[in-house]
Amino acid sequence: MDLLIWIDGNLVPKQDAKISVYDHGLLYGDGVFEGIRAYSGRVFEKKAHIQRLYDSARAIRLTIPYAQEELSQALDETLAANKMRDAYIRLVVTRGTGYLGISPVNCARPTVFIIADTIQMYPEEMYRHGMAIITASTIRNHPNSLSPKIKSLNYLNNILAKWEAVDAGVPEAVMLNHLGYVCECTGDNIFIVKGGDLITPAEEAGILVGVTRQVVINLAQAADIPVRQINLTRYDLYTADECFLTGTGAEIIAVTSIDKRPIGPGKVGPLTRQLAEAFHRKVREG
C-alpha cells in the first residue's frame, strides 16, 4: 500500500504530497519539526513532542495554524490511515509559500505535513555490541546565534559534523560548543556513566533538550541512579566507565569507543543495558 501523507489537513498519496518550490522551508530552512515514534499503535510522549514543536515555532515567530489538539488528532489519523502500529513520524511546519527573498512577511500561511514511515538508525548488531564514534571539529552553533532548543529545519551544522563521522568510517560524531564543552552528537544526546552516576551535558552547554533524553533521566531517577547534568570535556568522555546515546530514532545505543579510545572495557556496560531494558519496557507498556 502506498503511504498516505497528511498535508494541510488532507491525506494524500505519497507521490502526490508536494509543496511549492517557493516554500521558505525549502528555500531558507525556515521552519520547525519533530521526529516522533509510535509503538503498538500509541504515539510515544506525544504531548512532550507537540509542546516542543509549538515552543520551537514560537521562538522563531511562526504561528502554527492548528491547535495542539488538532495536530494530536492528525498524528493518530495519519497512523490509522497507513495501518501502522510501529512507526517513525515526521511532523513538519514550514513558514509556507512566499517569494524569493528572505523576508518571512510574504508567506501567507505555514505549511504543515506529517509523514508516518519506518526508520532504522543503526544496524541491530550495533545495539548488541555498541559503536565507535569520533569528536567532530565542527562545533555547535553559538547559542546566541540560534538557540539549540529550537528544533529547526536548518541542520547544516549537524550535517557537516556527520560528514566527519562518515569520512572516519563511524556512524556518529560528538559536537562541542564554542567553549570546548561536550554538547551532543549530530542527531542524538549523549550520556556517560562514571562511578555509578549517570551524567549528561547540562542544557546551558547548548543542547537540543531531547524527549528521549528526559525519559531516560526519569527512568534513572526512578531506579535511584544518581543523575548529574554538568559541563563535560573530551577527557570526561575518554575516561568514562560507560557511554550511550539517546534519541527518538536511535532510542538507546551504547558507545564503546570515542576517537579510537575504548570506553571502559570496550563493551556495552551494565547501566546502559539496565536503562535500555527499562526504556523498552516503558514503550511496550505505554
Sign of the C-alpha dihedral, residues 94, 75, 2, 250? positive
Catalytic pick among 14, 46, 47, 151: 151
Please list, residue by residue across 81-93, b when 16 or more beta carbons sit within 10 angstroms of its beta carbon and e when fewer do: ebebeebbbebbb
Distance, CA of 223 to CA of 187 (rounded, Å): 27
Distance, CA of 243 to CA of 253 (rounded, Å): 9
Catalytic annotation present for 151: yes
Residue with cell 511549492: 20
Distance, CA of 66 to CA of 158 (rounded, Å): 29
Enzyme catalytic residues: 151
